[in-house]
Amino acid sequence: MKKPVFTGAAIAIITPMNADGSINFEVFGKLIDDQIARGTDAIVVCGTTGESATLSREEHVECIRFVVGKVAGRVPVIAGAGSNDTAFCISLSQEAEQLGADALLLVTPYYNKTSQAGLLAHYTAVANSVSLPCILYNVPSRTGVNIAPATLAALAKLPNINAVKEASGNIAQVAQIAALCGEELNIYSGNDDQIVPLLALGGKGVISVVSHLCPAETHDICRLWFAGKPQESLALQLKLLPLCNAIFSDANPIPVKWAMNRLGWQAGPCRLPLVPPAPATQALIETEMKKLGLL
Which active-site residues does the annotation give?
Answer: 137, 165
H/E element holding 140? helix 140-143
What's the rounded Cα separation, in Å, for the pair 65 and 100? 8
How far is the CA of 18 from the CAs of 21, 23, 24, 92, in angstroms?
A: 5, 6, 5, 25
The burial class, CB within 10 Å (0-12 / 13-18 / 19+), for 12 is: buried
Give the sign of the dihedral formed by CA 191, CA 90, CA 115, CA 150. Answer: negative
Residues pairing with 79 in the sheet: 45, 104
| C-alpha to C-alpha distance for 68 and 62, rounded to whole angstroms | 10
